[in-house]
Amino acid sequence: MTTRRSFNLMTASATAAFAAPARRPLDPLPPGIKLSVQLPTEPSDDDLTFVRQLGVHWVNIPTGGAASTVENFKRLKAKVESVGLQVWNIGNSNVHNMPQVTLNLPGREAKIAEYKQYLRNLAAAGIYYTTYAHMGNGIWSSERELTRGGASSRAFDASKNPKGYWIKDVFEGELSHGRRFTENEIWDNYEYFIRQVVPVAEELGIRIGIHPDDPPAVELGGVPRCIFSNFEGYRRALEIANSPSVGMCLCCGCWLEGGKRMGRSAEDTIKYFSGQNKLFKVHLRNVNAPMPHFVETFIDDGYYDTSKIIRALKDVDFRGNLIADHIPGMVGGRYAGFAYAIAYMKAMLVMA
């Protein structure tokens, strides 16, 4: 006969067998802001030399498709480290924006499985941060416009038939997916995704920084942008995730695109989420005006004083990654734009 003691032992054994995997603690971030440069998918020797000449020590590398393998992640990391630099993130465009997940379209389960495998690939390569975006129909833009000195730059003008873009997909029209989605659907789909992803991220010790909608809007193409287009949406979303592994990638450009409708200033947002240890990465860029029409411009040439953002990061002892983002095209090419932006950022960091 089964005694009470033997029954309790069997119950305990069964519970242990089905217990959640052990967490890998998040690596503590050493003091200091990690200024970073975004490199091409296949960085050249000149790219790495350029970063070293800038006096920057961290890089981010985008990949996608067949390049998003653990073997390639290890190769890229080794290449970067061989010249004394460090990798903050290697991205994967296949799972950065996933309409199947955001909108619950056919293929959702396969995409979530692909995302989990991406996290495992990162951890296997010794990389413990990634950025995710929960946009159902891409980054919306209109035709490029000119900013200071005739520099070509991304723009959004709601009156000029903007479209959404991601990799090879183009989203357009009043209903980009043939119907109008509800805010409840977007929230439910986010919760479904994040509850599956959190256990894997915690098991691996990976930080996931969620990027704001770009641009932040009430709705684009019939898809509400109700979660990551304002402060309260972020607050609620991170409470749902309820995990030290899920936080914010604050794209200041997106925040400035939204203007007052974001609910809090960029500095207040930094203070709040840093206080919760949920601010992992910051993209610094400026725009000439908030929605409904903006042009991305140089970080010292927009409607916002970006030095206030830098001071806020210093005030909260931000220890995450800070990158220059969406730099307007300059005479001299990509290196010229990054050199200008990084030099200006380094000067602000010194003066803050």
Q: Where are the domains of the chain?
A: 27-351
State the CATH architecture for 27-351.
Answer: Alpha-Beta Barrel (3.20)
Predicted confidence (pLDDT) per residue in 97-111, tens digit: 999 999 999 999 999
Cα distances (Å, whole numbers) of residue 227 to 131, 135, 165, 182, 234: 16, 10, 19, 12, 6
- Residues of the chain where predicted confidence (pLDDT) is lower than 50: 1-2, 4-18
H-state helical runs in the chain: 4-17, 45-54, 70-81, 99-102, 108-124, 183-204, 231-241, 252-258, 266-275, 307-315, 334-351
Question: What is the C-alpha separation between 317 and 314, in angstroms, rounded?
Answer: 5
How far is residue 3's CA from residue 5's CA, in Å, rounded to a whole number? Answer: 5
Residue 22: per-residue pLDDT: 76
Question: How far is Cα 209 from Cα 245, in angstroms, rounded to an integer?
Answer: 8
The pLDDT of residue 7:
42
User: Can you tell me the distance from the alpha carbon of 44 to that of 266, in angstroms, rounded to the nearest whole number?
Assistant: 35
What is the pLDDT, as a whole number, of residue 115? 98
- pLDDT score of 16: 40
Phi and psi angles of residue 334, each rounded to the nearest 5 degrees, phi first: -60, -40
> Which pLDDT belongs to residue 21?
62
Q: Which amino acid is at 211?
A: H
User: H or E element: which one contains 221?
Assistant: none
